[in-house]
Chain A
Amino acid sequence: MKEKNKVFWKGVEELHNEPEFIKNNLNEFPASVLAKDEASDESAPDRRDFLKLVGFSVAAATLAACEAPVKKAIPYLNKPEEIEPGIANWYATTFAEGGDYASILVKTREGRPIKIEGNKLSSVTGGATSARVQASVLSLYDTERLKGVQSAGKASSWEVADAAIVDRLSKISQEGGAIRIVSSTILSPTTLKAIAEFKAKYPTTEHVVYDAISSSAISKANAASFGKAVIPSYRFDKADTIVSFGADFLCTWGAGDYSADFAKTRKLSKNKKTMSRLYAFESNLSLTGSNADFRAPIKLSQEGLFVAELYNRLTSARINTEAVKNDILDKAVIDLLASKGKSIVVSGSNDVNVQILINEINLALGNYGTTINLNSPVNYRLGDDEKMNQFVDDLKGGKVAAVIFYAANPAYDHPKAEDIKAGLKQTKLSISFADRADETASLVEYITPDHHYLESWNDAEPKAGFYSLAQPTISPLFKTRQAQESLLKWSGNNTDYYTYLKNNWGSSILNGGSWDKALHDGVYESGVASVESAVSSTFNTSAVAENISKVYTSASKGIDLKLYEKVGIGSGVQANNPWLQELPDPISKATWDNYLAVSKKYADDNKLKEGDLVEIKVGNKKLAKAVPVLIQPGQAPGTASLALGYGREKAGKVGTGVGANAFALATIQDGLVQYSAFNVTITPTGGFSQIAQTQTHHTIMNRPIIQDATLKEYKANPAAGRFFPTVTTPDGKVAPAKVDIWKDQHVQPNHKWGMSIDLNTCLGCGACVIACQAENNVPVVGKKEVINRREMHWIRIDRYYSSAAEPKETGVYFKGEGDLELPDQTENLEVTFQPMMCQHCNHAPCESVCPVAATTHSTEGLNQMTYNRCVGTRYCANNCPYKVRRFNWFKYFDNGEVFDKNTSMNTALGRMVLNPDVTVRSRGVMEKCSMCVQRIQEGKLTAKKEKRKVKDGEINVACAAACATGAITFGDQNDPESQVSLENDDLNKERAYAVLEELNVQPNIFYLTKIRNTQA
Chain B
Amino acid sequence: MHVTSSVRPPLVTGGKKYEDVTQDICKQVEGAPSTAWKIAFTFSLVILFYGGYCLWTTWYEGIGMWGLNKTIGWSWDITNFVWWVGIGHAGTLISAILLLFRQKWRTSINRAAEAMTIFAVLCAATFIIAHMGRPWLGYWVLPLPNAFGSLWVNFNSALMWDVFAISTYFTVSLVFWYVGLIPDFATIRERATGIRRKIYGALSFNWDGSAKTWSRYEAVSLVLAGVSTPLVLSVHTIVSMDFATSIIPGWHTTIFPPYFVAGAIFSGFAMVLTLMLVTRVLYNLEDYITIEHIESMNKVILTTGSIVGVAYLTEFFIAWYSGVYYEAFAFQNRAFGPYWWAYASMMTCNVITPQLFWFRKVRRSLMWTFILSIIVNIGMWFERFVIICTSLHRDFLPSSWAMFSPTMYDVGDYLFTFGFFFTCFLLFAKYFPVINMAEVKAIIKSSSEHKK
The verdict on A851 contacting chain B, using a C-beta distance below 8 Å, is: yes
Chain A stretch 922-940: residues in CB contact (< 8 A) with chain B: 922-926
Q: Hey, what's the 0/1 contact readout for A882-897 against B, CB within 8 Å counting as 1?
A: 1101111111000000
Q: Say which residue of A696, A834, A887 sits within 8 Å of B133 (CB atoms).
A: A887
Whether the pair B73, A875 counts as a contact (CB closer than 8 A) is: yes
The verdict on B158 contacting chain A, using a C-beta distance below 8 Å, is: yes
* 8 A-B pairs in the complex with CB atoms less than 8 angstroms apart: A696-B401, A699-B398, A701-B329, A845-B246, A848-B156, A852-B154, A871-B137, A885-B70
Distance between B163 CB and nearest chain A CB, rounded to angstroms? 7
Whether the pair A882, B70 counts as a contact (CB closer than 8 A) is: no
How far is it, in angstroms, between the C-alpha of A481 and the C-alpha of B141 when the chains are bound? 57
Whether the pair A789, B402 counts as a contact (CB closer than 8 A) is: yes
Q: Say which residue of B70, B132, B152 sits within 8 Å of A883 (CB atoms).
A: B70
The verdict on B61 contacting chain A, using a C-beta distance below 8 Å, is: yes
Whether the pair A849, B158 counts as a contact (CB closer than 8 A) is: yes
Residues of chain A within 8 A of B134, CB atoms compared: 870-872, 922-925
The verdict on A814 contacting chain B, using a C-beta distance below 8 Å, is: yes
Distance between A764 CB and nearest chain B CB, rounded to angstroms? 13
The verdict on B10 contacting chain A, using a C-beta distance below 8 Å, is: no
The verdict on A877 contacting chain B, using a C-beta distance below 8 Å, is: yes
Whether the pair A881, B64 counts as a contact (CB closer than 8 A) is: no
Chain A stretch 858-874: residues in CB contact (< 8 A) with chain B: 869-874
The verdict on B159 contacting chain A, using a C-beta distance below 8 Å, is: yes
Counting chain A CB atoms within 10 Å of each CB, the highest count among B62, B74, B246, B397 belongs to B397
How far is it, in angstroms, between the C-alpha of A705 and the C-alpha of B329 when the chains are bound? 15
The verdict on A791 contacting chain B, using a C-beta distance below 8 Å, is: yes
Chain B stretch 379-410: residues in CB contact (< 8 A) with chain A: 392, 394-402
Q: Say which residue of A850, A874, A926, A1001 sits within 8 Å of B154 (CB atoms).
A: A850
The verdict on B147 contacting chain A, using a C-beta distance below 8 Å, is: no
Counting chain B CB atoms within 10 Å of each CB, the highest count among A700, A814, A1001 belongs to A814
Q: Hey, what's the 0/1 contact readout for A909-923 against B, CB within 8 Å counting as 1?
A: 000000000000011
Known pairs A872-B132, A887-B63; A814 contacts B325 (CB<8 A): yes
Whether the pair B157, A791 counts as a contact (CB closer than 8 A) is: no
Q: Say which residue of B63, B163, B248 sits within 8 Å of A878 (CB atoms).
A: B248
Whether the pair A886, B70 counts as a contact (CB closer than 8 A) is: yes
The verdict on A853 contacting chain B, using a C-beta distance below 8 Å, is: yes
Residues of chain B within 8 A of A873, CB atoms compared: 131-133, 159
Counting chain A CB atoms within 10 Å of each CB, the highest count among B74, B163, B400 belongs to B400
Residues of chain B within 8 A of A852, CB atoms compared: 140-141, 153-154
The verdict on A269 contacting chain B, using a C-beta distance below 8 Å, is: no
Whether the pair A851, B248 counts as a contact (CB closer than 8 A) is: no
Q: Hey, what's the 0/1 contact readout for B135-178 against A, CB within 8 Å counting as 1?
A: 10110110000000001111011111001000000000000000
Counting chain B CB atoms within 10 Å of each CB, the highest count among A788, A871, A882, A923 belongs to A871
Known pairs A869-B151, A878-B248, A878-B392; A789 contacts B70 (CB<8 A): yes
B163, closest chain A residue (CB) = A851
Whether the pair B153, A697 counts as a contact (CB closer than 8 A) is: no
Whether the pair A924, B63 counts as a contact (CB closer than 8 A) is: yes
The verdict on B245 contacting chain A, using a C-beta distance below 8 Å, is: yes
Q: Say which residue of B64, B157, B163 sits within 8 Å of A848 (CB atoms).
A: B157
Distance between B20 CB and nearest chain A CB, rounded to angstroms? 52
Whether the pair A705, B397 counts as a contact (CB closer than 8 A) is: yes
The verdict on B274 contacting chain A, using a C-beta distance below 8 Å, is: no
Q: Say which residue of B64, B71, B325, B398 sits within 8 Å of A889 (CB atoms).
A: B64
Chain B interface residue number, banded: 35 or more
How far is it, in angstroms, between the C-alpha of A769 and the C-alpha of B70 when the chains are bound? 17
Known pairs A789-B70, A851-B153, A887-B73; A871 contacts B397 (CB<8 A): no
Q: Say which residue of B132, B245, B396 sits within 8 Å of A871 (CB atoms).
A: B132
Whether the pair A850, B246 counts as a contact (CB closer than 8 A) is: no
Q: Say which residue of B74, B163, B332, B397 sits within 8 Å of A882 (CB atoms).
A: B397
The verdict on B309 contacting chain A, using a C-beta distance below 8 Å, is: no
**Chain A interface, DSSP helix/strand/loop, else mixed:** loop
How far is it, in angstroms, between the C-alpha of A789 and the C-alpha of B73 when the chains are bound? 11
Q: Hey, what's the 0/1 contact readout for B308-338 against A, CB within 8 Å counting as 1?
A: 0000000000000000010011001000000
Known pairs A850-B157, A888-B133, A890-B64; A800 contacts B69 (CB<8 A): no
Whether the pair B74, A697 counts as a contact (CB closer than 8 A) is: no
A815, closest chain B residue (CB) = B325
How far is it, in angstroms, between the C-alpha of A1001 and the C-alpha of B246 when the chains are bound? 12
Chain A interface residue number, banded: 35 or more
The verdict on A799 contacting chain B, using a C-beta distance below 8 Å, is: yes
The verdict on A703 contacting chain B, using a C-beta distance below 8 Å, is: yes
Known: A851-B163, A874-B74, A877-B73. 17 other contacts (CB 8 A): A697-B399, A698-B398, A789-B71, A798-B400, A799-B399, A848-B156, A851-B159, A853-B153, A853-B154, A878-B248, A885-B70, A888-B133, A889-B63, A922-B134, A924-B135, A996-B396, A999-B396
Distance between B400 CB and nearest chain A CB, rounded to angstroms? 4
The verdict on A790 contacting chain B, using a C-beta distance below 8 Å, is: yes
A926, closest chain B residue (CB) = B133
Chain A stretch 741-794: residues in CB contact (< 8 A) with chain B: 785, 788-791
Residues of chain A within 8 A of B135, CB atoms compared: 871, 924
Distance between B127 CB and nearest chain A CB, rounded to angstroms? 11
The verdict on A695 contacting chain B, using a C-beta distance below 8 Å, is: yes
Residues of chain A within 8 A of B153, CB atoms compared: 851-853
The verdict on B239 contacting chain A, using a C-beta distance below 8 Å, is: no
How far is it, in angstroms, between the C-alpha of A796 and the C-alpha of B399 when the chains are bound? 10
Whether the pair A851, B154 counts as a contact (CB closer than 8 A) is: yes
Whether the pair B157, A851 counts as a contact (CB closer than 8 A) is: yes
Whether the pair A845, B64 counts as a contact (CB closer than 8 A) is: no
How far is it, in angstroms, between the C-alpha of A937 and the C-alpha of B396 when the chains are bound? 33
Chain A stretch 163-179: residues in CB contact (< 8 A) with chain B: none
Residues of chain B within 8 A of A888, CB atoms compared: 62, 133
Whether the pair B325, A703 counts as a contact (CB closer than 8 A) is: yes
The verdict on A605 contacting chain B, using a C-beta distance below 8 Å, is: no
In order of increasing CB-CB distance, the 5 nearest A-B pairs are A872-B133, A924-B133, A889-B64, A874-B73, A789-B69
The verdict on A836 contacting chain B, using a C-beta distance below 8 Å, is: yes
Whether the pair B138, A871 counts as a contact (CB closer than 8 A) is: yes
The verdict on B247 contacting chain A, using a C-beta distance below 8 Å, is: yes
Counting chain A CB atoms within 10 Å of each CB, the highest count among B151, B159, B247 belongs to B247
Whether the pair B71, A883 counts as a contact (CB closer than 8 A) is: yes
Residues of chain B within 8 A of A703, CB atoms compared: 325, 396, 398
How far is it, in angstroms, between the C-alpha of A881 and the C-alpha of B246 when the chains are bound? 10
How far is it, in angstroms, between the C-alpha of A877 and the C-alpha of B402 when the chains are bound? 14
Whether the pair A849, B396 counts as a contact (CB closer than 8 A) is: no
Residues of chain B within 8 A of A799, CB atoms compared: 399
Residues of chain A within 8 A of B137, CB atoms compared: 871
Whether the pair A800, B398 counts as a contact (CB closer than 8 A) is: yes
How far is it, in angstroms, between the C-alpha of A889 and the C-alpha of B61 when the chains are bound? 9
Residues of chain A within 8 A of B247, CB atoms compared: 845, 879, 881, 999, 1001
Residues of chain B within 8 A of A800, CB atoms compared: 398-399
Residues of chain A within 8 A of B71, CB atoms compared: 789, 883
Whether the pair A788, B398 counts as a contact (CB closer than 8 A) is: no
How far is it, in angstroms, between the C-alpha of A704 and the C-alpha of B402 when the chains are bound? 20
The verdict on B67 contacting chain A, using a C-beta distance below 8 Å, is: yes
Residues of chain A within 8 A of B392, CB atoms compared: 878
The verdict on A159 contacting chain B, using a C-beta distance below 8 Å, is: no
Whether the pair A871, B329 counts as a contact (CB closer than 8 A) is: no
The verdict on A37 contacting chain B, using a C-beta distance below 8 Å, is: no
Known pairs A703-B325, A789-B69; A849 contacts B157 (CB<8 A): yes
